[in-house]
Structure 1
Amino acid sequence: MPSHARPNHPLHGPLPILAACALWGTTGTAGSFAPASAPAIAVGSAGLVVGGLLLLLTGIGAGAREVLATADRRLLLLGSATVAGYALAFYPAVARTGVAVATTVALATAPIVLGVRARPALTLTAVLGCALLVLGGATGDTRIDPLGVALAVVAGLSYAAYSAVCAHLISLGHPSRAVVGVVFGGASALVLPVLLLAGVSWIASTAGLAVVAHLAVLTTFLSYLLFGYGLRRTTAAAATTLTLAEPAVAAVLGVVVVGERLPWVSWAGMAVLAVALAALTRAPRTPETITTG
């Protein structure tokens, strides 16, 4: 597969990843419209099953068969397992310890694991801003559940591993759409039994269909296509730090759509996070080898 060196530019890496984060940030608002009878793990699993299938179908036309034939299948399996692990760990974490704590722990874990050594100042500043944003808006009844926190850490580690695996495979010359399609197709198959056991009757309702369609098409299919494209020209460490933009989007949607109010600490955290992310997108990087296709 042909390759050539190309200077880095925000449109070639950071901005597609930030666009993916904006879509991920709608997950909580969309999930709040799911029927009351839908278990949290079922909602997340349904979005991954359908969205993963869409990504696989897209990947077939982009070289998924070649990826299956030539890529290290152990890495592909690890990628699928970590994608499934994120979904299966994060939603129970939210149910046990709340959105604020689970989101902060999960989203901060991946950048700390991958990004501190690469860009310690920017990474730690972004993590601090994320913590202020999310925890600053937590109410007095926020609960810290040890198992919930542990599950959130597992979700964060799973996400870090997925990012590293996909970035490595893409850096070897495999097309990003094909890699993402194979990995998410495998994750879809892994999560399907969980969805069937959790129950699918709620999907037949209008609200259920709308929520699954949103999670599958926007927060899984389109967002991970953008994320995979961004990984072609952005390191896994930088990409996972950029994903800290997700809670900022979620917070703004909570204010605009749901009518929530954020304290000044949260707004300050959002400002700190914005500065760190802006610096990360502008930070000079050594030109990398870019694959076509």
Structure 2
Amino acid sequence: MENHDRSFKGVIAIIIASFLWGTTGTVASYSLDVSSLAIGAFSMGIGGVLLVISARKRLCCDYKLLFKQPMVLLLGAASVAIYPLAFYTSMHLAGVATGTVVSIASAPFFAAMLERLISKKNISRQWIVSFVIGVIGIVLLVLGREHSNDIGYGVHQQSIGVILGGIAGLTYAGYSWAAKHLMESGVHSKSSMSGLFGCAAVLLLPSLWFTGDNLFSSSTNTLVSLYMAIVPMFLGYILFGFGLNFIDASKATLITLIEPLVATILAVFIIGERFKVIGWVGIALVSLCLLMQTIKPQSQLRLALKST
């Protein structure tokens, strides 16, 4: 039962992180003259710097463990750096709906494949069922949102956007797997996340020289930029790292399917986007997917009870 309680804490932490990430689209909509690439690079880069500062004592203790696995560290850092660039460019080329669904819905699949192929972990039947339900829910959720600017994209641009969305999903899964792998080797969650994001910040922040002209051109842009860096990125990834202490990366990335759900609800009630009935069906399916991830299978529950 103790392991079940710890797993539940991890699930709750990642749900809260996903909620924070789900606010980014609505908040960013108030900063129209800022490049999406600049917002992604600034939020992930500054978030990484803040993570390093907050975990500096832990990093001093764990840096040797981090450098013992340079390939994992480099893979995770590169994934963190590539993810926001691929994700925002995917939405720009393929449209918000297509870019979002490909990026977010593909991440749990890639995470499960990495765990299976590299970490040799089994994929549970419960995960497979909830994954299918969650992906169907996300597709319906995206189809249920009306985006006036989701049309008019060329076939060539859409194809590139879809490919970049897949790269975003792969890199999201990549740094989730890398963080979990480092934690399983004895690195503290704070050191793991701050190490990956700190290295990525070195790559992301210089790109602002070319893309970040309007980040602080007005008080609104300034508030949006700071919010994106501090709340969803800094606080969100602290919670995400905490959650990875207790659950696998494949399950964690599956739970983050709540992000587009939250984004849609905020868009309806704050921005005023119209929402079709099919979208509400998608919300119900994503909620069912999340519920399945918080319920322990009966067979495992019986084993836990017998061991107490």
TM-score under structure 2 length normalisation: 0.86
Q: Gaps (5+ residues) in structure 1?
A: 289-293
The answer to whether the Cα contact below 8 Å between 1:35 and 1:207 also exists between their aligned partners in 2 is no
1:113 alignment counterpart: 110
Task: Find the counterpart in structure 1 of residue 62 from structure 2.
Answer: 67
> AA paired with 2:104?
L
The Cα shift of 1:201 comes to: 4.3
**2:41 equivalent to 1:45:** yes
Amino acid paired to 1:17:
I
Question: In the alignment, residue 61 of structure 2 is paired with which amino acid?
Answer: E
Same amino acid, percent of matched pairs: 35
Deviates more, 1:200-209 or 1:38-47: 200-209
Contact 2:193–2:241 under 8 Å retained in 1:
yes
Deviation by residue 1:205-260 (Cα, 9 ceiling, x = unmatched): 21121111111111100000000000000111100100100000000000111011
State the match for 2:289 in structure 1: 276
What is the alpha-carbon distance in structure 2 between the residues aligned to residue 153 and residue 67 of structure 1? Answer: 32
Q: Does 1:92 align with 2:85?
A: no
Deviates more, 1:129-138 or 1:264-273: 129-138
Q: After superposition, where does 1:149-188 map in structure 2 within 5 Å?
A: 149-188=162-201
The corresponding residue for 1:57 is 53
Q: Secondary structure in 2 aligned to 1:202?
A: coil
Name the structure 1 match of 2:278.
265
Larger deviation, residues 73-82 vs 135-144: 135-144
Match of 2:144 in 1: 136
Tell me which of 93, 98, 101 is aligned to 2:98: 101
Could you tell me whether the CA contact under 8 Å between 2:110 and 2:169 is conserved in 1? no
Partner of 2:229: 216
User: For the residues of structure 2 that align with 1:74 and 1:66, how far apart are their CA atoms?
Assistant: 20
Decide whether aligned partners of structure 1 residues 202 and 229 sit closer, same or farther in structure 2, where only a CA change above 3 A counts: closer
Q: Distance in 1 between matches of 2:250 and 2:112?
A: 4
CA contact (8 A) 2:46 2:201 kept: yes
Name the structure where helix makes up a greater proportion of residues: 2
**TM-score, normalization by structure 1:** 0.90
Q: Are 1:193 and 2:206 counterparts? A: yes
Letter matched to residue 64 of structure 1: L
- Report how far residue 202 of structure 1 moved: 3.4
Query: Bigger CA drift: 118-127 or 262-271?
Result: 118-127
Aligned match of 1:124 in 127, 132, 135? Answer: 132
| 2:4 aligned counterpart, secondary structure | coil
Match in the other structure for 1:291: none
| CA-based RMSD | 2.0
Paired residue type of 1:173: G
Which of 245, 263, 271 lines up with 1:250 in the alignment? 263
Runs of 4+ aligned structure 1 residues displaced above 4 Å come to 138-141, 285-288
Aligned to 2:106, the other structure's residue is in SS state helix
